[in-house]
Structure 1
Amino acid sequence: MTEFDGLPVLRSPVAIAAFEGWNDAADASTAAVEHLEQVWQARPVTELDPEDFYDFQVSRPTITMADGETRRVEWPTTKFMVASPEGTERDVVLIRGIEPSMRWRTFCEQVLEICHSLEVERVVLLGALLADVPYTRPLPISGSASDAEAAQRYQLTPTRYDGPTGIVGVLQDACTRAEVDAVSFWVHVPHYANNPPCPKATLALLHRVEEVLDLPVPMA
């Protein structure tokens, strides 16, 4: 784990997380977190050391130019940023990364360790899946919560899915085992609109974020 001048003291923080890959049809969920990073001018706090979690032949590092001359290697990882939205007395921890290639349980332990250090009160997990739904209607959202009261409050349609899962499902299970309040929202993306971006799916997730935070999100 790499730290940026230590971890800050936050105000009643809520974490919002999304991961590229299997959990992110049309890049809808990571686009939602990226939008929040931009409109709330989030600042970097820390990131996970990618060496233990990624196969770099699958998630390759990239080379970028810095200052027009220096070439810098950027490694695939999971980053933690903090935002202080106007109109609320709480901070928001934004977690955006790539689904790990290996050591998922250790990955979840490290994510929760950082959340614990930041005194996060709730973890909101965003996902997107392909489904037989029309783009012409409001895209449905299913999900689950760590307690029945939260599921009822957010009017979550429980999923009946049984089968392989991604890091979002594993991380929510880890939250439950660690007795961390967690809720997940999965937007259903039409099969024929699976090429990113899918603004309608991203907006549907952002509206759910507004409900959890009780705070309007700029949508420009």
Structure 2
Amino acid sequence: MTDGNGLLSARLLVVAFEGWNDAGEAATGAVRALKELLDVDEIAQVDPEVYFDYQFNRPTISTNEDGRRLIEWPSAIMYGPKTPGAAGVPLAEDAQLRVSGTNAGNIYLLLGTEPSRSWKSFAAEILDAALAADVSAVVFLGAMLADVPHTRPISIFVSSDNPQVRAELQVERSNYEGPVGILSVLAEAAEKVGIPTLSIWASVPHYVHNAPSPKAMLALIDKLEEIIDVVIPRGDLVAEAAEWESGIDALAAEDEEMAAYIAQLEQARDTVDSPEASGEAIAQEFERYLRKRGDGRDGRDGQGGWADGRPGPDAPRAP
């Protein structure tokens, strides 16, 4: 956790986008949870006509509480505290209703859909709004599909391209090279204007990619709370995560192939996490895991993933 003088102890912008960076809706789910718990108002919004292809990101229609039919357009909205700098109420007084801690009044949010076009202009507009709000650091939340078991703790990868942040939090610099999403574009733009950045990514089991993952949302919130020095009520999220895991257990119990595959992932994960694990042991475990696949081959596509499109153990790490 940061101390009161750290880079992440002043005004923070926590960012998540629907789309490529949001497996299991984990990142946007975590920021939406923060939005409900923080006392924030909308302070900036991009013009959707400029950045979105509506045939790709279609608007949606719904009925509001007054019975009116409203169309909601894809966009990106920044929210700021109604009383900037104010400390949150003590947790004991409001355990399920508010984010608390000395830094609670310094949290800004950016929530939206990944734009379809003009990413450089989009990043410049977002950074202008961040600078106008005197944001001192940006925390990006992301989630990716991975070969991980749902029965084990969600893997979290924290990284930063900023040397001060890496030194303060003792985190790594990502060595990923390849295609990126809007988070990486915004991170580079922020660093160029002097705003330090941090990225927190969760690994979501690829075999449940069609459903929201409350367990991954919870893991992101746990790590975010640890880093930005606030206390975030979990509400129903703990129970929802347990139900999510139980539901997948029930599906696996009816599918022998799925159960066997999950058992292989569990064994690989436990080997990596064991205290006696060495680099050689980990490599041997992955080799054995690949040999045990049904066709006797590793089944990969030459790009670090499986031939059926799933990311493999050699797939690049999150940007």
TM tier, smaller:
0.7 to 0.9
RMSD: 2.0
Kindly state the Cα deviation for residue 48 of structure 1 after the two structures are TM-superposed: 0.8
Higher relative contact order (CA 8 A, sep 6+): 1
Q: Match for residue 31 of structure 1? A: 29
Taking structure 2 as the reference length, the TM-score comes to: 0.62
- SS at structure 2 position matched to 1:179: coil
Question: Conserved in 1, the CA contact under 8 Å of 2:161 and 2:173?
Answer: no
Question: 5 Å matches for 1:111-126?
Answer: 111-126=126-141
- SS at structure 1 position matched to 2:139: strand
Question: Conserved in 1, the CA contact under 8 Å of 2:78 and 2:110?
Answer: yes
The alignment status of 1:139 with 2:137, answered yes or no, reads: no
Kindly state the Cα deviation for residue 189 of structure 1 after the two structures are TM-superposed: 1.1
Q: Match for residue 214 of structure 2? A: 199
CA distance in 2 between partners of 1:137 and 1:154 (Å): 25
Letter of the 2:129 partner, please give it: I
CA distance in 1 between partners of 2:63 and 2:56 (Å): 22
Question: Conserved in 1, the CA contact under 8 Å of 2:40 and 2:80?
Answer: yes
Q: Which has the higher strand share?
A: 1
Question: Conserved in 2, the CA contact under 8 Å of 1:48 and 1:77?
Answer: yes
- SS at structure 1 position matched to 2:135: coil
Q: Match for residue 81 of structure 1? A: 79
- SS at structure 2 position matched to 1:184: strand
Question: 5 Å matches for 1:53-92?
Answer: 53-66=51-64, 68-83=66-81, 85-86=88-89, 87-89=101-103, 90-92=105-107
CA distance in 1 between partners of 2:58 and 2:188 (Å): 28
Q: Match for residue 93 of structure 1? A: 108
Kindly state the Cα deviation for residue 69 of structure 1 after the two structures are TM-superposed: 4.5
Question: Conserved in 2, the CA contact under 8 Å of 1:142 and 1:158?
Answer: no
Letter of the 2:227 partner, please give it: V
Letter of the 2:102 partner, please give it: T
Letter of the 1:35 partner, please give it: A
Question: Conserved in 2, the CA contact under 8 Å of 1:12 and 1:119?
Answer: no
Question: Conserved in 2, the CA contact under 8 Å of 1:141 and 1:156?
Answer: no
Match of 1:181 among 186, 196, 215: 196
Letter of the 1:88 partner, please give it: T
Kindly state the Cα deviation for residue 116 of structure 1 after the two structures are TM-superposed: 0.1
Letter of the 2:41 partner, please give it: R
User: Which one has a bigger Cα radius of gyration?
Assistant: 2
CA distance in 1 between partners of 2:187 and 2:158 (Å): 11
Question: Conserved in 1, the CA contact under 8 Å of 2:160 and 2:173?
Answer: no
- SS at structure 2 position matched to 1:29: helix
Q: Match for residue 107 of structure 1? A: 122
Question: Conserved in 1, the CA contact under 8 Å of 2:165 and 2:197?
Answer: no
CA distance in 2 between partners of 1:196 and 1:36 (Å): 21
The alignment status of 1:160 with 2:175, answered yes or no, reads: yes
CA distance in 2 between partners of 1:159 and 1:146 (Å): 7
Structure 2 residues without counterparts, runs of 5 or longer: 1-8, 90-100, 236-319
How many pairs were matched up? 210
Letter of the 1:132 partner, please give it: D
